[in-house]
Structure 1
Amino acid sequence: MTELADAAAAKQAAFAEFQALQPQELCENHTIEEREALRGLLAAANENAVVLEAVKLVLDSTAARLQAILSAVADPGTYQRGGAATRHVMAARINAIA
């Protein structure tokens, strides 16, 4: 998941740098067809960045829910009437791993 977030951040940074170029620099000595192709490429890149961000948000949300569920399952107080033990070693390990 971290790799996906890093890839999304790198693509967004590269796209922002590309967008910062002046239109004249991008379109000098290019035909109308090439300019249209560039517009299409920019639109596709922007759509990809939006999709990657949405995927990242869903994965982050899923990871948080999974961590909460696993922590609840690992909590000895969940299934014992006497309440939680003073040490939650398994829950702490799950939190550290997740």
Structure 2
Amino acid sequence: MNLSQEDWVNQLAADENAVILDVRTEDEFNDGYIENALNIDINKGQGFIYEIEELDKNKNYYVYCRSGARSAKACQVMNELGINNAYNLLGGILDWEGETVNP
């Protein structure tokens, strides 16, 4: 499900069962990420699928990438793998107005 930044942030803040998932490359992730995000690179192909299959299907996943395209695809793959609570951040981290961690 696609959510605006406002809806994504509000829903995330109220969700005790939330996991933030960054599907960008490791290099992109290391340039800055949303606090507490787990990085699983969608470009890993089958490796991405294996890692998604290991995730708890009872959690709610708040997914983002650079602009929202890869995370939309990731949410679609997650749905196909039985994770029905995946929420895509429209506009990705490019439009993100919140804090980021810059290692």
TM range, smaller chain: under 0.3
Structure label with greater radius of gyration: 1
Q: What is the TM-score of this pair, normalised by structure 2? A: 0.21
Q: What is the TM-score of this pair, normalised by structure 1? A: 0.22
Higher strand share: 2
